[in-house]
Each structure stands twice: as C-alpha cells, then as structure tokens.
Structure 1
Amino acid sequence: MHTPPLPLTRDLVLIGGGHTHALLLRKWGMNPLPGARVTVINPGPTAPYSGMLPGFVAGHYKRQELDIDLVKLARFAGARVILGSVEGIDTTQREVLVPGRPPVAFDVASVNVGITSDMPSMPGFAEHAVPAKPLGPFAARWAAHLEGSDPTSVIVIGGGVAGVELVMAMAHALKAKGRAAQVTLIDNGPALTATKPKAAATIRRAMSDLGIDVIEQIAITRIAQDHVELEDGRQIPAAFVTGAAGARAYDWVAATRLDLHDGYVRVNEYLQSSDPAIFAAGDCAHLTENPRPKAGVYAVREAPILFDNLRAALGAGKMRRYVPQKDYLKLISLGGKSALAERLGTSLSGPLMWNWKNHIDQKFMNKFRDLPKMRPAALPREHAAGLQEALGDKPMCGGCGAKVGRSALQSALRTLPAPMRADVTALPGDDAALLKTGNARQVITSDHLRSFTTDPALMTRIAAVHALGDIWAMGAAPQAATATIILPRMSAELQHRTMTEIMKTANEVIREAGAEIVGGHSSLGDEMTIGFTLTGLCEDDPITLAGGHAGDVLLLTKPLGSGVLMAAEMAGQADGASVATAFRQMIQPQHAAARSLRGAHAMTDVTGFGLAGHLQGMCEASSCGATLDLEAVPVMNGALELSRQGVRSTIYNDNRAIAPDLPSGGRADLLFDPQTAGGLLAAVDANEADALLRELNQAGYPAAIIGHLTNKPGLRLQN
C-alpha cells in the first residue's frame, strides 16, 4: 500500500547561518524530525568560517575556501533557505521580518547571526572605513586594495586577538606582494589582554618583525579620507582602515523585546531566551549562567545541545543543559604560515602550530564540503516491470524541467478538433489563445510549475513571472489572473501560513505587472505546485510565432541555464552563489522588455522546450529557418561547467530530439536546456536591433543578439 508523505505540523526557523546553525543543519539532514518544516534565513547563499579569515587575508586561502554553502547544506537537511537580511522578530505574532517578502512565521526559532564590528559612533568610520565583519564587504574591499602597486598605509582598529591576527595577515600579504606599506594597529586600551604575558610577548615580536606599529591606550577622535586622527593630535596616514574592535550585536536584536545583556540575547543553560520559543547561540548570545568570551569554539560546541533542545521544543525528546568549558585552546595566526597555540597559560609557536591550526580548520570545513550521501529508499522486492527505468537515477526536476515533452504534448493537441466558436482563435504553436469580446481582444494562457525550491514566496514569484511570459510574449497587457495552488500535506495552521506567503507574493507580482488576482483554487497533494491562468488585453494585433521574416535579427532577453542549475541544485551539485544568481534572473519581470519589443515581428518566451525548441516553433510557424551565434548566447553563472559535467534536466532528451541536426556538447547542450521564467526571444527588424539591444541593456536585462532568421528551413550554427 502506498504510504503518503507525513504532514508538516511545526515551523522551525533558523535565523542566520553561523557555525552553530551550520552544524545543526548537517546533523538535521542525517536525523530529521518528521513533521517539522525547517527554514534557514541568511543574507547570502554562503556563510564564512571566521577561523580561516586571517589565512585568507594573508593569501593562504582562496575566498571560496572560507565559505559554507548554505544552499547545498539546506538541500541536504531538507530545509528551505531564504536569502535576505533579517530586520526583526515580532515575538507577539511569532514572525521573522525579512525585507521584500511576507513575514516568516515560526513555532520555534533560533538566532545565530554572529556580531558586527561596525563602529557607527566613531566619527568618519561609516564613510571611510570598512568593518571586518560581516566578511563579504570586507573581503571585496581588501581584495581590491591589495591589487594596487603604489605605497599604501593600513590601519586596524582593535588590539584583541581578532585585531592582531588581522593586522599581521594584512602586513604579510602586502610584504608578499613586495608592496611598500605602513601598517598600524591602534587600541584605546592595552592590546592583547585576552592572552597570557608569554603569548602576548610572542605576538608582539611577530608584529615587530612584520614592521607593524602598535599604538595603545589612546583614543581615535575621527577617521578622515586619508588619515586617522588621535586625541593627542597625531594624524596617522591611512589608505585602508578596518575595525576589529567594538564588536556588538546587530541593532535589530534590541527591538525584539527579548531580555538582553549589552545588546546580546540572554540565554539560560538550555540556550533559551526569555521567550521559551526563541533560542540563541554563538556570539550573538550571552550565556547567563556561565558567561564566556566571544569565541567560535563555544558556537561549535553548542550545536549538538541546540539540536536536541530545538527538537524538544518541537515536541520530541528532552532538553539538555549546555555547560561551556572553562578554558579553550587559542590558535592565533601570526601572518605567515606560523601560529601560536595557547591554553592554560602554556604557549607554543611556529610553523608546526600553523599546520595544526590548518588541520583543525580544514577538518571543520570538510564537514560541509563532503556531506554524507543519504541512500534513497529501496524499491519493494516485487514491482512491475519498468519501474526502475521510470524512476531514473536522479531526482525528478521541478519547474519546466518537469514538463511533458513537446512531441507528446503536440501529438495530443493535434487530436483535438479546431475551435467551433468564432470568438476563439487558437494560435498554432503559441501558448496563448486569442479571444474576442465585442471590440476587445484578449489573450488567455495557463501555466503551472512543480516546485524546485521549498520557499513558497520565492517559488510563487518565479511561477508568476513564468506564467506572465506568455502574455508579454504576445505583446499584450496583463489583465486578470486566477491562482491554482497545491500544497504538500500540512496542518491547518501551516496551510494558513503558507497560503498567506503565496498569495501576498502573487498579488505583488501580478499587480506590479498591471493585472489583478480575481480568484483561485487550492488543494493538498504530495508536493507544492503553483500555477496561474491569465488574461491580457491587446491594443494592437498580438505578436505570434508566425510573423518572422528572413533577415530578422534574434534578440534574447535572459541567459540560459536554469534547468541545468536547478537539476544540479536538487542533486546537491550546484554551488549556492550560482543558484542564488539564477533565482535573481528567474524572478526578473519582463514587462519593460515587452514594451521595448512591442514592434517585434515574432516573439515567444523561452521555457520548457529550451531555446532550440522554441526557436524551431517560431521557424515552423514563420516558414523560415535560423542561424545561431552560439558564443553570443548568454548563459547563467555555473551552467556551462555543470553541463560539461553531464548534468541534465529531466526533459533534456525530449528537447534534444526537436533539433537533432544541431551539434552536441559544451555550450550547444544548453540550447536544449528547459528554462523556467526564461527570456523573451524576439525576431526584430535588422535595422532596429542594435538600438533595441541598447534599450534592453539600459533597462537592466542581460539581453544579447544571438542570430538571425534565414530562408533555408531548419536550425544551424554560425560558422
């Protein structure tokens, strides 16, 4: 007997992708709690590992080596990932507030957002300095500064362990490049108070060997464009200023109404805040029972305790107490591949300590680089012939990758009789039909997508832009929409939350396009599916597939590759940054592009049948052929590499059969990649093409001229 998926009943929301939450997600993936829907919210698709930051600044590691890929990790954990910066928690409504999307409701939440080293109260800091945390902006600014060749001056504010590691790494990097530099560490108190005298002396010698000036026990009055001014009147030259002092909690935490200690969330021995449904861990938390300094070792050791306690708060198991260790091993980078190790007053330094530190850091990161392979459920011992082949060897794609092949759809449609009503015109090859009501001309279309992301708001935005593509491609103005929603099995409360996210997002996108949602239908099923039926009004004759002429130039408004990227993401093969970029391109609406292309001779949106399939449809309807400039076809970040690795969407083979004469391999394979919310493909007058391309690019579309229509039937590539 078929066993349906277990319904979802509780929402767990993880705010931030810090070390504790990263380890928790890995553990959750190996032992999920049935009935719990997990969400992780983070500003970007990756979370940096702070332990390797000095090594990156010094040049020992590449930028990507520091990153924990939260998109891959969330897929492994069965969690949805929301990319956005949290701006608050409504503890009354039990909602997390993220700009640009509906609030995210929770039953249990956990905060692991780290701290910031921004110093807004220091005059000139915001204008002329860059905080060392968060890492992303700092890394970009430092990399750009390091590329210069002129003599420079660098100042690091803060004489704690983080500050001295950073200043030695920067001095080493500049020295390795042979670049003359004045490097200065400034602290308004004594430096290195967190280490014992012997270790502090070793670190000071290392700074001296790197030529670093240390200025202590004096305050900074202001930061100017080219110098830092001290309270004694001295002006220290500064072309690059960063701050590793003044670590503080994010401002939004103060508005949560949770009990705080100097801005940090106060937690008990169970890592619970004053609100028992909200937990906190890592640097953003203050351990009320056993206060400890801000150090990554505590965040790492909190992970298994937090894992058990969140499950208990969701209804499974018992709470465990977290008892932090009294002392911990400090491993401090000394600029080059040398480090100092200190614990219980004993310290050692040298290359061997750096090798040890590197081993520990790489071992930690390997937990996320090499996620365990979870075995799929075994087939029943007895089953019908062909079941294994039908399942295939990879997950079924979502979006347009899950569509039925073009040949199957067309052969089924050909069996239908022609419309008998005079006011209904089916347009061969087009996804929309033309309706006449009095003097008004409407187009009508319907589309729906099997979800490839578990974030309902993001999936709704993609599905709405995707469905609107048929209206825009006909040169029509969107008018009205109905929504068709299938939700996975879940409790009534989660149904309400999810439908609220979906409909608020749908209304925003549809209304922005100039239309209104007038109704819909919903049901429960095995997985989430979102679709829309839309009408549009035509002031002029609709743009169809049939108006192309030999000599017309082909314009494409969006890059290819969403099918490959989503297939790879579902299999845990795509990097999170590429997936995030693909999402941004998919949700880009095309009403401005459609206005620019309203004079096109023929137009379609590139979706499930890939560029080749949709272009073939245009050529057949227009009785012409086409030549493509393969190198001019824009592709999404990461798509070409994945395609070369053999990653394919479910519908790829069906699409490949549409144009068998085109070559295979490399970039050519992306011509058959099914696109979700893909670009508009327009055949335009050759004399207008360059001006239209400039107009599209100025409007923010990564559009390109990719070929032209010809008299000779069929598709071919330009020599």
Structure 2
Amino acid sequence: MMSSPVQLSRDLVLIGGGHAHALVLRMWGMRPLPGVRLTLINPGPTAPYSGMLPGHIAGHYARDELDIDLVRLARFAGARLIMAPAEAIDPVARTVSVQGRGEIGYDVASIDVGIHAEMPGIAGFGAHGIGAKPLDIYADRWAMFLSEAEAGRVPPEVAVIGGGVAGCELALAMAHALRTRVGAARVSVIEAGPRLTGRTRAAERHLRRAMAGLDVAARTGSGVARVTAEAVVLADGSEVPSRFTVGAAGAFAHGWLAGCDLPLTEDGFVRVRDSLQVEGYDDLFAVGDCAHLGGSPRPKAGVFAVRSGPVLYANLRAVLSGGRVRAFRPQKDYLKLISLGGKGAVAEKWGHAVAGRVLWRWKDRIDRKFMDRFRELPAMATGVAPRVVALGAVPQRPLCGGCGAKVGPGTLAAALADVTRPGRVDVLSGPGDDAAVMRVGGAVQVVTTDHLRGFTEDFGLMARIAAVHALGDVWAMGAAPQGALLSVTLPRMDAAMQARSLAEILREAGAVLNAAGAEIVGGHTTMGSEMTIGLTLTGLVEGAPLTVGGARPGDVLILTRPIGSGTVLAAEMQGKARGADVAAVLAEMARPQGDAAKVLRAARALTDVTGFGLAGHLMAICRASGVAAELDVAAVPVYAGALDLAEAGHRSTIWEENAARAPVPGATGARGLLLHDPQTAGGLLAAVDEAGAGAMLEALQAAGHRAAAIGRIVAGVPGISVLR
C-alpha cells in the first residue's frame, strides 16, 4: 500500500485512462508530489492505444499489444484505480459520480475520457452498427466478426460510414485481415461528401491506390438512410451489403458530459483554456479528444493528447502545490502516418505525401517506442539494505496484503494451544472452527472477526472484499448474518480526506452487509501507516451450526470459486501480473456468496477457503472429522494468470508455512503450488452427501458460481492425497 512521507491533504482524481493521463501516471510514479492521493477512474483495467489500432485490426499486432495496462501503471504511480465508468461531474461540489460506486470527492481533477463514434442519428445503427470509438469495444467486436467470417458463418462484407482518414485506414485494415484470414473481402467506404476527406490530394492518391489494390470500394456523395443487419441503405434507396458496419464519420462527445454543469461547445466538448484548465474552474482540467482548446483548436488526434501530457502533469502539480501554470502550445501541423492495410503506410505533412513499406516500419517503431514507456516502467530506487543486522534477521520480500499477511498456521496453532478456557456453559465451541458458537438466551449465535491488510488503494473495493471475506465465516457456519462492528485504520491524512475515505468505506461495506441481512452497529477508527479494514460479525443459527467436523467417507468435495488470488495479488505488487487478470480476481473476491451458502446448507461439513489455502482448510476438515481426503488437482478451478505466475516463482509471504502445515504428496507443478496459496474472500469448501452433490453443483453453477467437484472424503488417517 502507498506510504506517503507526509500527511495526505489533497485528492487528485484522473477521470479516464486516455493517453495524456497515462503519461501523467508514468511521470507521477517517477516524481510524485508528497501529500497527494492520486486516483484514476476508468471503466476497465486497460486503455487501448489508438496509434496501433489499425495494425491490430489488420492482424499485425495481438490484442495485448494494443493495451496500456492501467493496473500496472497505477501500482507504479502509487495510485488507486477505480474500475468503473464515471457518470457525472459536479465541479462545484467537486465530486465525480461513478457507476455502482457513488460519489468520489476531489480537490483537483482532470478529464480524459475520449470520444465515441456511435451514430444515433442513423436509423438502425444502434442495433446493427459499431462505432470505431471507443476503440476497445470496436476491437473486441471486430475479433468476433472475423472469427465468424473465417468459420464461414457470415459473409465477409463490411461497410465503413465516413471517408475520413480513420474510416479509410480502418477499411484498409479490415480488408487486409479478411483477405488474409478468410481469402475474400467486400469492403466499402461510404462518404456523404464529394470526395474522401481529411487529407491532401497527394495523400488521397496513395490511399485510393491502396484501396484499389484491396478492392475497397469508395462510395462518395452517398448519404446513409439506415442500417440493417445485412446492409447499409443509402439515401437514394440503393444498398451496400454489410454484415459489419462501422461508424467513423466524425468524433462525438460522450453524452453524460452534457448533464454536468460544465462549459461545453455546441458539440458537447469541454472548453478549456491554454493551461488545459476548464473555463471557469482552476481545479478542473480536461485533455485529449473530449476537450476543446478554445485559443488553439486542433483536430481530434492522439498526437495532441500525447504532447499535452507533460504540460498537464506540470500544471496539476502547480495547482496542488500553489505554483503557477503554463500554457500548452500545440503544433500547427503534425506528421500523419496512415496505415495502408498491409505493412505499408503513407506519410503526409505540410501538403506533401509519400508512401512505402519503410514508412510502416517507421510508424511501427514510433508506436512500439510509445508503448514501451508503459511496458518497461523504470525501476525506482528502494531503501538500501543495512550492512549489519541482528542474529537471525534475513532480508524480507514485501509483505503481502489480505490473507497473505496472516500469521502462519503452525505459529497460530501453537499459540492457541496455550489459551485458557474457563469452561462457560454458554460458549459452545473453542478455537478451530470458522466462528465461535455461543448461546444467548434461547438463540444460538456465531461470532467471528477478520482484519485485512490493504492490498488495493481503492478503499471502497477493499471494503467490499473485506465484508465478503468476513461474511464467509458466518455463511460457512450455516448462519444468517446479523450485526457488524467495523474497524478501520486509515493512512495519515487530513480531516477532509478522512471524511471522504470513511464515507467510501462505510458505503461499500454497508452495501454488502445490508444485502446479506446484516447491519453496521458500530466499530472503531484510527490512523496508522497503512490501510487496514476489519469486521467483527455475529450471525444467528436455526438448528445446529455447520462445522468442519461432520465429513464422512464417500462425501464429495465442492469448491465454489477458483484459487490463486494470493499469487495474482503478490505478483501485482511487483508489477508482474496482467491487469485484466487482477481485475477479474478482484471482481470475484468482491462478489458475495450468501446464495452459495444457502445451496450448501445441507452439507455435512463446510468452511471458507482463506489464509491457510485450499489444502490447509481441507486438512482442517479432515482433522476435525477424523477422515482423509483425495483431491482431484486437475479439477480445482484456478484464476486466470495464476498458473503462469506460480510457475514463474511468485508466492505469498505465508505460502511456505501453509505448505509445511498441510502437505499434499504427489501434487506437483503450478497446480500443486496453488493448493497452499492463501485466499482472501475465497470460496466455500463443502463435504456433501454424494447423492445430493450433483444437484448442489448444478444449482451453484446456475447462480453464476465457478463451482466444481474437486475430490472426495475417504476413510483413513487425516491427510490429503492426490486422486489417481
């Protein structure tokens, strides 16, 4: 977690992961401003680089090569990443409304959300067309269409509405890909004007020559009336066959900006001064295609966003620290390198144009150099290891968050062995199960507590996961959640930031707890060196609580969610995990399992898989039940990316103790390693009667859980073996 050398006093929020913001994050990681908490709000874990989009569409670049990994970049910058779309900005209250997350406050903010190319004015486009922007949505839809065409399920017919540079470039790229993968292509560019637009006559000649070589038809002077599933219908009634229709006729501002109290152009773009500050607001900036630079208007092109990055970084620091801002002076013209489908390109500037394969190689080098700035993040200086240390002291790798930071199972068991129990008759259980069981009047109540060291700078997401994690103990006992005490340690920050942070934490934890039937009834707050969130929960049980001690030979073992989260999060701390994999793990961890617990209420033994790993918690069932287990290692679901990361040597800090406490002879390779991986908000592990296992598994999967039957209980000395 981020540790600031001074008290945090200002919130800087970047809205959108556009090119300028990506550059700001990189520069911030190399030179942060002490006292600032940096937040990035973006719909997903990656942001596509527009310069490589045509090459990707043509098949020259893989999908991953197109994306800036915002998870890695945020970790490098010490920023929290909130992966949800912004829906509104209130520049007076200084808040950003985020889908599913409520309001995020700021002291200074910047908008870089790009544009879209959807065409609501054309009938049928919404149902049968796709805008060229947002780039990631278009790229994913194109990959699906290309696969369908390659399989022969749809004809390779494509139409692009808009004859500008982007439209022609994408038409050429799609024609090249279809000819390469399918063997045939029928691609058309439809332009309402009398000629192709956005370039000089010299550049247009090169483009038309390339279009002729790939049989891309140019239909100029052709207005579009509507779009159907099989064609684009023109204003004169004629039809252009198309099973994949792309909108590239202009740049459109995101509609949600119009609902904000912001100064906008008639087209909905945010008006900014030459300092990149929004007109009328010194604490709000806007850059990239969503902004309109009134004093020096420029076309919507990525080159200007890239050039504005250093100025934006400097001006954000200036406003946050009381300095002076400087002006952004965009160049009047810029070099345009336009892909021609295959590995050729045309270069145009100052009215001159040349084309050739060497120009594509030049463009490729420029694009790869830009992306390398985010793939090869500089190694920042760390503390120097002391030359003299105490006897027994050894260098330590960074401590993991979540359950990866727990005390090892052997150490904990030894400590608990010395706990004195006076023998109260209303305390029905001792240490060892998921929660304590007590009798309160005529009711049976379970009580549990869990505290997690932060593993994400997104305090709201951390609160949701902490709540799901703590609820796991109550659900595993077959209890209905009741009351919650919330304990929060915040990093040192001023009162305003404390209020914002606590509001996020209480809102998100409360949403999870309330949905589970529990209420926050109190708690404790303090400040420290890093974020910690803990909950103490009570639950009520009707009948006998479920325990780890009821498994019988012949029972089937069911696990409700994958393992490997500890490995993925440990690798993410080092900037080694894919952002998409991290996002998937966090989303699953934040998903409640109350519905799964109801399905498993008839289990004979039930627990949740947390810090001691799948093997450790299965061993707890075996010891308490006096049985053994046979594990089908290949059947255990695993999070995406976890196997490769485990194979590469990534481990949580508690892994060694987990492996020593619950060995699984015969479990080898990466899957064997992950059996001891600590899980935070892990799955429920149940031993169920074989007769009902199939129905339970079907119900869990129908509810959307990645549940699997992973082995069976057998007679024998408590232990785990591999099912042969």
Task: Tell me if both proteins adopt one fold, taking TM over 0.5 as the criterion.
Answer: yes
The aligned residue for residue 431 of structure 1 is 434
The aligned residue for residue 479 of structure 1 is 482
Residue 383 (structure 1) shift:
4.8
Q: Counterparts of 2:306 and 2:195 in 1: how far apart (Å)? A: 27
Residue 181 (structure 1) shift:
2.6
Residue 661 (structure 1) shift:
4.7
**Which of 328, 340, 358 is 1:322 aligned to?**
328
8 Å CA contact 2:156–2:182 kept in 1: the answer is no
8 Å CA contact 1:160–1:191 kept in 2: the answer is no
Pair 1:271-2:276 in alignment: yes
Q: State the superposition RMSD in angstroms.
A: 1.3
The aligned residue for residue 259 of structure 1 is 263
Q: Counterparts of 1:218 and 1:664 in 2: how far apart (Å)? A: 64
Q: How does 1:38-49 map to 2 (within 5 A)?
A: 38-49=38-49
The aligned residue for residue 575 of structure 2 is 572
Q: Deviations over 1:57-106 (max 9, x none)?
A: 11111111000000000000000001011111012221111111131100
Q: Counterparts of 2:631 and 2:594 in 1: how far apart (Å)? A: 25
Query: Quick one: which amino acid aligns to residue 23 of structure 2?
Result: L
The aligned residue for residue 239 of structure 1 is 243
Q: Counterparts of 2:282 and 2:137 in 1: how far apart (Å)? A: 34
Q: Counterparts of 2:82 and 2:385 in 1: how far apart (Å)? A: 33
Q: How does 1:212-361 map to 2 (within 5 A)?
A: 212-261=216-265, 262-274=267-279, 275-315=281-321, 317-361=323-367
The aligned residue for residue 190 of structure 2 is 186
Q: Counterparts of 2:624 and 2:431 in 1: how far apart (Å)? A: 7
Q: Counterparts of 1:288 and 1:547 in 2: how far apart (Å)? A: 72
Q: 1:650 to 1:683 in 2, by over 3 A?
A: same
The aligned residue for residue 36 of structure 2 is 36
Pair 1:21-2:25 in alignment: no
Pair 1:60-2:55 in alignment: no
Post-superposition, which runs of at least 4 consecutive aligned residues in structure 1 deviate over 3 A? 379-387
8 Å CA contact 1:153–1:237 kept in 2: the answer is yes
Residue 288 (structure 1) shift:
0.8
Count of residue correspondences: 714
Secondary structure at the counterpart of residue 549 of structure 2: helix
8 Å CA contact 1:119–1:246 kept in 2: the answer is no
Q: Counterparts of 1:109 and 1:493 in 2: how far apart (Å)? A: 16
Q: Deviations over 1:4-48 (max 9, x none)?
A: 842110000000101100011001000000000000011110000
**Which of 394, 397, 407 is 2:410 aligned to?**
407
Q: Deviations over 1:136-193 (max 9, x none)?
A: 2222221121122444311001111110100000111111124333210001114443
Residue 376 (structure 1) shift:
1.1
Q: Counterparts of 1:102 and 1:486 in 2: how far apart (Å)? A: 22
Q: Counterparts of 1:675 and 1:98 in 2: how far apart (Å)? A: 28
Q: 1:360 to 1:190 in 2, by over 3 A?
A: farther
8 Å CA contact 1:188–1:216 kept in 2: the answer is yes
The aligned residue for residue 630 of structure 2 is 627
Pair 1:502-2:508 in alignment: no
Q: Counterparts of 1:24 and 1:43 in 2: how far apart (Å)? A: 18
Q: Deviations over 1:370-428 (max 9, x none)?
A: 001112112455554455x1x51x32100000000011111111101124311012245
Q: Counterparts of 1:574 and 1:225 in 2: how far apart (Å)? A: 40
Structure 2's unaligned 5+ residue stretches are none
8 Å CA contact 2:43–2:85 kept in 1: the answer is yes
Q: 1:668 to 1:661 in 2, by over 3 A?
A: closer
Residue 664 (structure 1) shift:
4.1
Secondary structure at the counterpart of residue 221 of structure 2: coil
The aligned residue for residue 525 of structure 1 is 528
Residue 623 (structure 1) shift:
0.4
Q: Counterparts of 1:494 and 1:412 in 2: how far apart (Å)? A: 39
Q: TM-score, normalised by structure 1?
A: 0.98
Q: Counterparts of 1:570 and 1:4 in 2: how far apart (Å)? A: 17
The aligned residue for residue 401 of structure 2 is 398
Q: Counterparts of 1:527 and 1:585 in 2: how far apart (Å)? A: 24
8 Å CA contact 1:160–1:194 kept in 2: the answer is yes
The aligned residue for residue 103 of structure 1 is 103
Q: 1:55 to 1:412 in 2, by over 3 A?
A: same
Query: Quick one: which amino acid aligns to residue 415 of structure 2?
Result: A
8 Å CA contact 1:54–1:166 kept in 2: the answer is yes
Q: Counterparts of 2:387 and 2:310 in 1: how far apart (Å)? A: 37
8 Å CA contact 1:563–1:675 kept in 2: the answer is yes
Q: Deviations over 1:444-499 (max 9, x none)?
A: 00001000001110000000000000000000000111100000000010000000
8 Å CA contact 1:428–1:621 kept in 2: the answer is no
8 Å CA contact 1:102–1:457 kept in 2: the answer is no
Secondary structure at the counterpart of residue 501 of structure 1: helix
Residue 112 (structure 1) shift:
0.7
Q: Counterparts of 1:540 and 1:104 in 2: how far apart (Å)? A: 44
Query: Quick one: which amino acid aligns to residue 253 of structure 1?
Result: L
The aligned residue for residue 685 of structure 2 is 681
Q: TM-score, normalised by structure 2?
A: 0.97
Q: Counterparts of 2:302 and 2:97 in 1: how far apart (Å)? A: 27
Q: Counterparts of 1:181 and 1:362 in 2: how far apart (Å)? A: 29
8 Å CA contact 1:419–1:426 kept in 2: the answer is no
Q: Counterparts of 2:339 and 2:550 in 1: how far apart (Å)? A: 67
Q: Counterparts of 1:343 and 1:276 in 2: how far apart (Å)? A: 35
Q: 1:481 to 1:454 in 2, by over 3 A?
A: same
Q: Counterparts of 2:723 and 2:527 in 1: how far apart (Å)? A: 49
Q: 1:566 to 1:61 in 2, by over 3 A?
A: same
The aligned residue for residue 78 of structure 2 is 78
Q: Counterparts of 1:452 and 1:154 in 2: how far apart (Å)? A: 46
Q: 1:323 to 1:385 in 2, by over 3 A?
A: farther
Q: Counterparts of 1:31 and 1:180 in 2: how far apart (Å)? A: 52
8 Å CA contact 1:115–1:248 kept in 2: the answer is yes
8 Å CA contact 1:460–1:530 kept in 2: the answer is yes
8 Å CA contact 1:118–1:246 kept in 2: the answer is no
8 Å CA contact 2:196–2:220 kept in 1: the answer is no
Q: How does 1:564-603 map to 2 (within 5 A)?
A: 564-603=567-606
